[in-house]
Amino acid sequence: MSEIKALKLASGEELVVEVTEQTESSVTFKNPVACVMQRSDKGPVLGFMPWMQAADGPFTIALANIMVVADVADEVKNGYNQIFGAGIVVPPKGLITG
């Protein structure tokens, strides 16, 4: 299965993870990062910080503790893939000119 998803936990934490399995009662994932807002010259931007630093995973959370499971925006997926993936960045959608 292995899909990059955004999770909003009942605790309020927002994670970006690679989901490896989902059952009727839980979600199992690896490579979790917490989403945090950071300051930049351009204003607030989304950043990542490690989540569960003392463990290697995989991690399993009961669906009862997850408020939302969603697809991630292309920009977020690109940043995540630069850290954990092959480094492949998908260009923004738009017209091809040349």
pLDDT, one tens digit per residue, over 38-90 is 898 988 988 999 999 899 889 999 999 999 999 999 889 989 998 887 655 56
22 neighbors 35 (Cβ within 8 angstroms): no
- pLDDT value of residue 4: 94
Q: Confirm whether 77 is domain-assigned.
A: yes
- pLDDT value of residue 2: 78
Phi, psi of 57 (to 5 degrees): 85, 180
Q: Confirm whether 96 is domain-assigned.
A: no
Q: How far is CA 18 from CA 25, 35, 59, 60, 63, in A?
A: 17, 14, 10, 12, 16
Any idea what DSSP says for residue 90?
P
Q: Confirm whether 36 is domain-assigned.
A: yes
State both tokens at 6.
Answer: 């955004």
Q: Residue 14 is part of which domain span?
A: 3-84
**Domain count for the chain:** 1
CATH number of the domain enclosing 31: 2.30.30.100
- pLDDT value of residue 5: 96
